[in-house]
Chains A and B, each alone.
Chain A
Amino acid sequence: MRPFKYTGAQNKDQALQAFTATSHYLGGGTNLVDLMKEDVERPDQLIDVNKLDYKKITSNENGGLTLGAMLSNSDTANHPEVRTKYPLLSMAMLSAASAQIRNMASNGGNLLQRTRCPYFFEVSMPCNKREPGSGCGALKGMNALHAIFGYSDSCIATNPSDMCVALAAIGATVEVQQPDGSSRMIEFTDFHRLPGDQPEKDTTLMQGELITAIHLPKPEFSDHYYYLKIRERSSYAFALVSVAAGLQVNSGVISKAGLAMGSVAHKPWKLSKAEEFLTGKKPTTENFEAAAALEMKDAKPFEGNKYKVEMGKNAIVRALTQAYEREV
């Protein structure tokens, strides 16, 4: 690991003040410290923000909950209010990593975790995300784990987060603190970005901005929810494809659907067309299949990840079915 200066911040002002262009904020470190050991991340300074007072879960004015950015993933997923009102989020978060890692990982950090693309991790390989201009090794290389939606010639990596898939389905808002002391809100679907010709940028955060909270809308999917995670072993692995499905069903008709897919694009892939299609329809297998087909027809797979199209379609249908059939 390259040398860096460690700065322990006691409060937000200290953290913002210490920030420089080559600094990183340090949360749980589960991704950042690993990437530093791999020589992928090379900050000159780590600003430890673990002591900052963003560790609460509170009610917000929309009738939802606000999650502190520095609360751990396990404390968030197992908070009684989150578990009962947003079980879809709890389920997605608990499918991720291991108990140890969830104890360490912060909510803010989860939003910023970087791709698991093997070319990104291997510094002897070309990767536009790690080294802009060096090329994309995966484009014509081993691309079994890569995107089928929204990629560009410069990057076909996927976002690995489970939590973020659920947040996209639920429709969250991210609050960030700007270096000048003001704060701003970012719609969740605008928080992560597509690679375009700047794949080194995973999010729309600006330099020095610090995530302080995640705001959830009023709970809508507390009865019918399912997070389906398909992976190469049944636990402690990243998804090949995942689907977060939330349904609101009134008198046998879907009144609202929240749907997103993971590990298929550079950002959590919100299934807006399927959500719209399902609204006002009956929760039948035929409708679920039609909704899945509507989304997956836009998929453009590579040599190695053609399986994701069929798998994705089936995963959407299964997640919706599991969500609907769950005993209320």
Chain B
Amino acid sequence: MKDIDKWNEAVDSDNLSDDENMILDAMGLNESSRRKFLKQVSAASLSIYASSFFTSEIFASTMKDLPENTIALLNEVKVNLRVNDMVKPLTLDSRTSLLDALRERLALTGTKKGCDHGQCGACTVIIDGKRNLSCLTLAATCEGKEITTVEGLAKNGEMHPMQQAFLKHDGFQCGYCTPGQICSSLALLEEAKNGEASYVTEDFKKIKSGLTLSEEEIRERMSGNICRCGAYNNIVQAFKEVHTGDDEMPTWEFATQEQMDKAKNA
């Protein structure tokens, strides 16, 4: 049986693995909405969806405090890191970036290390409501600050609408920049609400709160997040859906059997 046939059969008959069924049950998707959802996401997306789902349920609540040999620390600093509404007291080398503290000490590996020099945006997290680069933030400076990482976005087992939109619109390929893209997008929603200007804003004097951003504006404002796979078109679509509330369908769709056959025989 061809892969696509297998997949079609699975979709049509809900012939999913126990794990997959469990995820969909937990998402509250019943017969018809489940079918609609499965037709929208590819098999690969479902597994990524699943990992995000488990991320929200499990990883966030099992944030770890990995041991560090404090005797070996140079210039140790103590900081209470408040991440995703949980506080962890840490003893760190003063050189530790917030990114390394999140990944290496708290096992929150959703936030990614791309360039580690503030040039790619993969490490974007939200600090006190604003998007920041965790690679250039020293953990020592974060006492008393509210840090939100991609692990903290899902609530009650439901992905944040922005996460759902990225899946629906295929706003990624390899997925490495995605946590940064999503955190950045969330902060941008607020910036637009607050009426903040960008370099491409026509008139700095007349700008008002509750902005609806054009594609040009979205691209300029999201330029701090590089996507090496070039999923920019879909990222913009995903952002737009959440930003404007329009339930825009993705611009791609699965090939029909007829199209598949035609392509094969061409």
Which positions 154-203 of chain B face chain A at CB distance < 8 Å?
A: 184, 187-188, 191, 194, 196-199, 201, 203
A26 to B225, CA, bound (A): 25
Specify which of B94, B117, B121, B124 is in contact with A3 (CB 8 Å cutoff).
B94
Which positions 90-140 of chain A face chain B at CB distance < 8 Å?
A: 90-91, 94-95, 97-101, 103-104
- Between B196, B203, B221, the greatest number of chain A beta carbons within 10 A of the residue's beta carbon is seen for B196
A98 contacts B121, CB within 8 Å?
Answer: yes
B132 contacts A94, CB within 8 Å?
Answer: no
The number of chain B residues with a CB under 8 A from chain A is 43
Known: A1-B95, A83-B205. A99 touches B191 (CB 8 A): yes
Q: Is the interface of A mostly helix, strand, loop or mixed?
A: mixed
Q: Which of A30-38, A164-172, A248-256 contacts B (4 or more CB under 8 A)?
A: A30-38
B219 contacts A by Cβ under 8 Å: yes
- In the bound complex, residues from chain A placing their C-beta under 8 Å from that of B95 are 1, 3-4
Interface size range of chain A in the complex: 35 or more
Q: Which of B18-26, B42-50, B81-89, B134-142 contacts A (4 or more CB under 8 A)?
A: B134-142
A50 contacts B141, CB within 8 Å?
Answer: yes
- In the bound complex, residues from chain B placing their C-beta under 8 Å from that of A229 are 199
- In the bound complex, residues from chain B placing their C-beta under 8 Å from that of A235 are 199, 219-220, 223
> B83 CB to closest chain A CB, in angstroms?
18
Can you name the residue of chain B whose Cβ is closest to the Cβ of A222? Answer: B205
A37 contacts B117, CB within 8 Å?
Answer: yes
B141 contacts A83, CB within 8 Å?
Answer: no
A84 contacts B by Cβ under 8 Å: yes
A307 contacts B by Cβ under 8 Å: no
> A184 CB to closest chain B CB, in angstroms?
28
Known: A26-B141, A99-B187. A4 touches B75 (CB 8 A): yes
Chain A: residues with CB nearer than 8 A to chain B? 1, 3-6, 8, 26, 28-30, 33-34, 37-38, 46, 48, 50, 74, 77-78, 83-84, 87, 90-91, 94-95, 97-101, 103-104, 222, 229, 234-236, 327
